[in-house]
Structure 1
Amino acid sequence: MLKLIFLEMRKHRFARNFGYAAIANVGILLFLIMIGVVDWGAEDYAFITYPSSFMLIDTFARVTFIIFGGALISKLIISEYSNKTMNVMFTYPIKRHKIIAAKLIIVFAFTFFMIMFTDLLMGAILLTTDHFYPFITDELTGKQALQLLIKYTISSLSAAAMALIPLLFGMRKHSVTATMVSSIFLVLAVCSGVNGPSVSINSIIVIPLTLGAIGLWIASLSLVRLETKDVN
């Protein structure tokens, strides 16, 4: 399976996606700086505490890379169905479900890694900035840091699984547009704020976990359907 994953990554020149992800991280950083400057002095200042600061960072990371995951599904799976290149791949002496599984593992792993990396990178920048120019009112204890790390590791895993949900809509008519639109609607629904930057739908832990489970179910369903409807 690992060899198949590396072959898929090489075929699609996957290394370029890390460059695009770096550009996305620069964009996220600029947005965070803009929010920090424009919102300065407000009663509900986004960066007033560490929990609210990290929630804002994680929200931007999830929005960006769930949509990025949808783009990867479109490129690695949906476009190959619509271009009929998937039929050629299915003639290889490799089980069909392994081919799709390798692609889905790539999407899941990349989405999880980039959300975690972005959370850690932006968190490190936040801590460094606050050290030299204090603006956060509370202190980050070791216990609190560990709790936040566990929380956002779980959040990243659920978001990576959630990023597989657009596969259901894209596979209906092998539509790249449907895949991307469903990704956008997904992040609008899940990452929308309920009461300012400190509370979002994603903070209700049962919702992202349920959607993550649905994403994994959709991925497993697509593997089952390979032998029937999707191939015919």
Structure 2
Amino acid sequence: MTSQRTRNRLIQRLREEGISSEQVLDVMASTPRHLFLDEALAVRAYEDTSLPIGYGQTISQPYVVARMTELLLSRARSLQRVLEIGTGSGYQTAILARLVEHLYSVERIAPLLEQARRRLRELNIHNVEAALSQGGFGWPEKGPFDAILSAAAPSAIPAELKQQLSPDGVLVMPVGAERQHLVVVSRRGDSDQFDVEKLEPVRFVPLLSGVVR
């Protein structure tokens, strides 16, 4: 259930669902999603579904990972410095790390962060700097960022994240409480004006405050 043939079936499914970026598909085909799950769930790793990773969190559905990553690649003018909100299992982190120059990632649940760091080391991914922090505040000390991707949904777009975008920077995240939608926020040059594009409905865990040790 974790063979390359099984992974290839998932990639074919993603193509059929509209993912067209060969860069994204190649990285997802070669990234072992089963390593980011507990052993009991590893047999389901290449299903196109979200799965629990503990602490009330999930590893995102592969289609959503591919869709958000594809949006980031197609909308951002540069991918030198990218921020990820919600390291989680480290799966989305591993995908992004192979497509950007420097990736910064914040996670509020310490045990998940440590597991993700270990998995990234095992995969020889070394261009990620991760920290224990509340996601809604981003990581201003490391900004500004060419792009920001969030794997958790606030009820409204956090102003702090918008201000951490570099000129022409792009933010991709789910937004909403009862009903969530994927949104793309684009900064107009170096101004304080932002364009917001509302895309398809999604379902993510909420963006919460507080650090869990």
- Superposition TM-score, scaled by structure 1 size: 0.25
More helix by percentage? 1
- Superposition TM-score, scaled by structure 2 size: 0.27
More strand by percentage? 2
CA radius of gyration, larger in: 1
Which is bigger in relative contact order (C-alpha 8 A, separation at least 6)?
1
